[in-house]
Amino acid sequence: MKKIIDIVINNMREDYISEVVDLSDREFGTGYISRKDVMNSINYSKHTLKVAILNQEVIGFYLGWVVEKNNIPSKLNIPSNLLPLEFKETKQIAVLKSIVVSEKFQGLGVGSKLIKSCIDDFYDKGIQTISTVAWKSKMGINIEGPISRLNFKPVLEIKDYWKDVSKNYSCPECKTPPCRCSAVIYVTKKL
Ligand SMILES: CC(C)(COP(=O)(O)OP(=O)(O)OC[C@H]1O[C@@H](n2cnc3c(N)ncnc32)[C@H](O)[C@@H]1OP(=O)(O)O)[C@@H](O)C(=O)NCCC(=O)NCCS
């Protein structure tokens, strides 16, 4: 049977900032998530960042945003003409923007618990539509298993999604910029 570890999920605090940025640098590439992005999650109510704690160490986190309908194309970097129907029918959506688990704790259920916590938080806030931008590299979609089990469905694939922003960081799969990975936009809705 698959091994599962017990974690505590906490709200973001200033004393976690360095661990969160270090973890993001290691798994996504240095500079992908900045200290400012992390600070925004403490100071700005539309951003949520929660951490997975094991033995007082940050071993994972998710970053989510609440996005008003008019801002979806710019915040999700989706051309307006490709906007999936699911986003046209709602006033605002929540976006699971980034999720990461420290390499030595991957495959132990931490990511699935973080995603479940993210969904519960957004549904509690009354948001009915949740989207995520899944990273699709040459290796496939790392997060596919956990999000599919939590009822997310793919609605759109965008090639070279990080090509422009990747001038500022190195994708762990593509190494030298630009990043040529795709994003697959997934959506789930409260039943
Ligand atoms: C993707 C990620 C968040 C999943 O977290 P996790 O704690 O390993 O996930 P869980 O243990 O809950 O679920 C394991 C699933 O993740 C997949 N997985 C992805 N990378 C894995 C790894 N290095 N080790 C083990 N499982 C991995 C497995 O295929 C498994 O799917 P399955 O249950 O259908 O077999 C984590 O592997 C990670 O941080 N990867 C690097 C960053 C990344 O890709 N983030 C997602 C961007 S959209």
Task: Note the pLDDT tens digit of each residue in 85-131.
Answer: 999 889 999 999 999 999 999 999 999 999 999 999 999 999 999 99
pLDDT of 169 over the 90 cut:
no
Chain centre to alpha carbon of residue 147: 11
Closest by CA to 67, choosing from 38, 96, 43, is: 96
List the residue whose alpha carbon is closest to atom 48 of ligand 1: 134
Which among 4, 53, 54, 101 is the best mutation to test ligand 1's pocket, defined by most ligand atoms within 8 Å of the CB?
101
CA of 108 to the centre of ligand 1 (A): 9
Q: Give the model's pLDDT for residue 170.
A: 86
The predicted-structure confidence for 5-30, as pLDDT tens digits, reads as follows 999 999 999 999 999 999 999 999 99
Structural domain 8-189, CATH architecture:
3-Layer(aba) Sandwich (3.40)
Could you give the angle at the alpha carbon of 160 between the alpha carbons of 162 and 48, nearest 5°?
Answer: 35
Angle of helix 35-43 versus helix 17-28 axis, rounded to 10 = 130
Stretch (H or E) spanning 184 = strand 182-189
5 φ, ψ to 5°? -110, 155
Domain residue limits, the chain: 8-189
Identify any residues that bridge with 62 across adjacent strands, giving them in sequence order: 50, 99
Report for 31-35, 44-48, 146-150: range of highest mean pLDDT: 146-150
Residue 125 CB partners (closer than 8 Å, separation 6+): 66, 94
Would the pTM of this model clear 0.85, i.e. be above it? yes
**Best of 53, 142, 182 for a ligand 1 pocket test (most atoms within 8 Å of beta carbon):** 142
Calculate how far, in angstroms, residue 32's C-alpha sits from the geometric centre of ligand 1.
19
**Closest protein CA for atom 14 of ligand 1:** 107
CB 62, CB 118: distance < 8 Å: yes
pLDDT digits (tens, 9 = 90+) for 43-87: 998 999 999 999 999 999 999 999 999 999 999 999 999 999 999
In 3D space, the residue among 51, 53, 52, 46 whose CA is nearest the CA of residue 71 turns out to be 46
Contact call for residues 119 and 130 (beta carbons, < 8 A) = yes
Long-range contacts of 11-18 (CB under 8 A, 24+ apart): 11/49, 11/50, 12/38, 12/41, 12/42, 12/48, 12/49, 12/50, 12/51, 12/61, 13/42, 14/42, 16/51, 16/58
Ligand 1 atom nearest to 135, measured from its CA: 48
Instruction: Provide residues with CB under 6 Å of ligand 1.
Output: 27, 99-101, 106-112, 134-135, 142-143, 145-146
- Rg of the chain, C-alpha, whole Å: 16
| Of 135, 143, 144, 169, best ligand 1 pocket probe by most atoms within 8 Å of the beta carbon | 143
Which helix (H) or strand (E) segment holds residue 92: the answer is strand 92-101
